[in-house]
Amino acid sequence: MTWLLLIVAIAVITFLLTFVLRRYALATSMIDVPNARSSHSIPTPRGGGVAIVIVFLLVLVYLFFQDGPEQRIVIALGGGGLVIALVGFLDDHGHIAARWRLLAHFAGAGWALFWLPGAPPLHLLGMTLTSPWIVYPLVGLFLVWLLNLYNFMDGIDGLASVEAITVCVGGALIYWFMGYPERMILPLALAASVAGFLVWNFPPARIFMGDAGSGFLGIALGVLTLAAALVEPQLLSSWLILLGVFIADATFTLMRRLIRGDKVYEAHRSHAYQYASRKYGSHLPVTLAVLAVNLLWLLPWACFVALGHVDALLGLMIAYAPLAILAVVFKAGELEVPE
């Protein structure tokens, strides 16, 4: 099977499976009903992200038996992602206490780190950290934070899907430019899985992703980021740049809420993207704006860093500077005023 045919098949199968899941959600009344903390106004089926999970896990099984260079990464993605997706699925159908969800998140991250071929060296403040006693806890926290922030950022139609597709396609292009075409299949397969779902999730969404899908995407993108850094150290910064919109908004919002003493585990509508969607009265312009930022601003800087044209830390700072400004302009983390 050619890779192009595989990618197309992945997207089509995810599209069809999302249709089935939407019918299931409607039949079982698994509906997201708007409330004071919602960013939508119409009751909508949820749980469609399960289609992404199922299809991508099947792809991982197929790739595992190909005995390629990324077999350990396949195991890390499959096991870690499955743990997170199962917990999210159960939470979508009921409620799991935050402490148990967090425990499962660390378990999924631990599985992924155990199976990765190693931990990437971390360059911080002019120092290079290589000790596993330091690096593994830091990258473990990174995985847990990324999968949670992905859940936080999945609040308007199409946003989380567009982010995952552009990050994965961008990462695959960078592999191509650097002469690692054999590394492209995992990010492209994940992008195709999300693309089939996006047809149903694009504004106005006909089904939502749910915690199973958003958490799965968060840890999958985190593992792919660490895997890229094991290929070339500067690719850690490149993937962090590609993820910049979500990392900047979620982190800025969290810090402001922590400083204010808010209960950060409670639902809220104070992310920059949520304020922006209310300001413009629609999800579509915000989702399209993120698409444009990812393709026209973040992707070029990620490529510059990957190809060695710009220092990794400098490129990261330059890429994030306007994102920080946008976070301030759109009131990320600012106290919500009742309407």
Q: What is the DSSP string of 167-220?
A: HHHHHHHHHHHHT-GGGSHHHHHHHHHHHHHHHHHSSSPSS--HHHHHHHHHHH
**339 domain residue, yes or no:** no
Distance CA 177, CA 95 (A): 45
Which whole number is the average pLDDT over 288-317?
A: 97
Q: Could you tell me if 187 and 168 are in contact, meaning their C-beta atoms sit under 8 angstroms apart?
A: yes
Record the pTM: 0.95
Which whole number is the average pLDDT over 192-208?
A: 97
**196 domain residue, yes or no:** yes
Confidence class of residue 94 from pLDDT cuts 50, 70 and 90? confident
**Which pLDDT score is estimated for 36?**
56
**334 domain residue, yes or no:** no
**338 domain residue, yes or no:** no
Among 39-48, 76-85, 212-221, the least confident range = 39-48
Amino acid identity at 64 = F
Could you report the per-residue pLDDT of 99-158, keeping only the tens digit for each?
899 999 999 999 999 999 988 888 766 677 778 888 999 999 999 999 999 999 999 999
Which whole number is the average pLDDT over 297-306?
A: 98
Amino acid identity at 133 = W
211 annotated to a ligand binding site: yes
Which one has a higher pLDDT value, 67 or 200?
200
Distance CA 80, CA 41 (A): 34
Q: Could you tell me if 194 and 166 are in contact, meaning their C-beta atoms sit under 8 angstroms apart?
A: no
**310 domain residue, yes or no:** yes
**Which pLDDT score is estimated for 336?**
77
Could you report the per-residue pLDDT of 2-51, keeping only the tens digit for each?
888 999 999 999 999 999 999 999 998 888 776 656 566 688 898 999 99
92 annotated to a ligand binding site: no
Q: Which residues contact 336 (CB under 8 A, 6 or more apart)?
A: 268, 269, 270
Number of domains composing the chain: 1
Q: Note down the domain range covering 300.
A: 3-329
**Which pLDDT score is estimated for 49?**
96
Tell me the pairing of strands 127-129 and 122-124: antiparallel
What is the rounded average pLDDT for all residues in the chain? 92
**46 domain residue, yes or no:** yes
**335 domain residue, yes or no:** no
